[in-house]
Amino acid sequence: MATTTTATGSDARTFWAHADRHLVRYGGGFTREIIERASGSFVYSAEGRKILDFTSGQMSAILGHSHPAIVETVQRQVATLDHLYSGMLSRPVVNLARRLAATLPAPLEKALLLTTGAESNEAAIRMAKLVTGKHEIVSFARSWHGMTQAAASATYSAGRKGYGPSAPGNFAIPVPNAFRPDFTTSDGGLDWRRQLDFAFDLIDAQSTGSLAACLVEPILSSGGVIDLPPGYLAALKEKCHERGMLLILDEAQTGLCRTGTWYAFERDGVVPDILTVSKTLGAGLPLAAVITSAEIEQEAYDRGFLFFTTHVSDPLPAAVGLTVLDVLAAERLDERARDLGCFLRRGLEEMASCHQVVGDIRGRGLLMGLELVTDRETNQNPDELGARVTRRCLELGLHMNIVQLPGMGGVFRIAPPLTATEEELSLGLSILDTAIGEVSPAG
């Protein structure tokens, strides 16, 4: 086993002096831990601390860190065939496209292999605009789809101020948040059908008649782990097709078994026109895909679809993607995510019964959200309390991810690897329980 080098105080001071002087900050501050290595569900700091990773890296390492099968694939493939001219093809690329199609319902069978989630959403939006001949894009008001131009223009949770105009024709619709309903039924629950009707009344009023696509996540992650109500996706697809729009589903975080099914949209029996997957497909390495029907791909090709990038169809990440699919199928990680998700939810619900500040538990499989509130009557979200709990968790050996948005700072995104054990989940739950109890004045 690899050993961890313990950093001296002077080493750490030098490291952070260099980091502070030479790194561009790209979203809040850096976690003040020097990470030396990672294995399974844990990362290890230069000071010798073992930290349980409840975020799978950047919500990506679904097989844990340094999975032996991934390590072996990278070592073999990088020594054989790593990168090619973008117009050349290799067996890993064709095989991954074929294997992805086999995990999906018809008519999704054509894949474009890229690197990041932003890039895959950029390509999907570009394809939708070209195929429909229109340019307007609809997304959720708390969406996150990436930082490239079209993806950023469809992102509303953060990053819109200070950069000038976004792409014209981008519209936001309200998020169907059952914990904070804006349209309510007679019993106070969320009336998402009325909300959706209202949303598209507004879209129709603003549209110039050029609606191309609706781009959404089945479970909004940065938006607060908001799971769309059963039936919502089907109704949304109907709204889209009534207007000649394509439905694009972004399953960067929900795809490939994390929610207990291979894809989150399976629960609703809705097949998107275009699907994007990323994070989980590479299990921590940069790999993404746009998957669509032969009909849409043909129309895009006939109209001259162009998305020529440096790393499109690269063989090395494609080989990793094949290994990810192998492990997911062989270890039946969709079933494991369901079982562990039930275990995790039970633990979170027990925590909620002990701490008045836990207002809501939501999510599916091993993508869960926990929302802190200062008052269960008003559901007021305490940003500072969430930050304090996060810091205390890290001190106790648990890395947690909190939604970094004003008014959402009390929402934790919990996404451990699908390979995590019940003992590791229990450890994380215990640390979180302790941190909430120590930090919260209400306990």
* Token reading at 313: 């169809």
The verdict on whether 16 is a catalytic residue reads: no
Written as one string, the DSSP assignment of 410-430 is TEEEE---TT--HHHHHHHHH
Could you say which DSSP state residue 41 is in?
Answer: T
Active site residue: 36, 217, 314, 360, which one? 217
Measure the CA–CA gap between 366 and 436, rounded to whole angstroms.
Answer: 21
Encoding tokens for residue 347?
Answer: 């633990």
Rg (C-alpha) for the chain, rounded Å, is: 22
422-439 and 333-354 helices, crossing angle to 10°:
30
Active-site option among 53, 122, 136, 250 = 250
Catalytic residue among 134, 239, 279, 364: 279
Q: What is the end-to-end Cα distance of the chain in Å, rounded?
A: 40
Rounded Cα gap, residues 277 and 291, in angstroms: 8
Contact criterion met (CB below 8 Å) for 358 and 351: yes
Beta-carbon-side half-sphere exposure of residue 264 (alpha carbons within 13 Å): 33
Q: Which of 49, 144, 262, 336 is catalytic?
A: 144
Provide the residue type at 393 as one letter: C
Q: 25: phi > 0 → left, psi -120 to 50 → alpha, else beta; which?
A: beta
Closest CA to 111 of 91, 121, 96, 90: 96
Query: Mind giving me the DSSP string for 305-323?
Result: -----TTTT-HHHHHHHHH
| Tokens representing residue 193 in the block | 């059908």
Question: Is residue 331 flagged as an active site residue?
Answer: no
- Residue type (1 letter), 64: G
Q: Is residue 345 annotated as part of the catalytic site, yes or no? A: no
**CA–CA distance, 364 with 321 (Å, rounded to integer):** 23
Known active-site residue 82: no
User: Which one of 49, 243, 345, 413 is the catalytic residue?
Assistant: 413
Question: Of these residues, 53, 195, 253, 314, which one is catalytic?
Answer: 253
List, by residue number, the catalytic residues: 144, 217, 250, 253, 279, 413
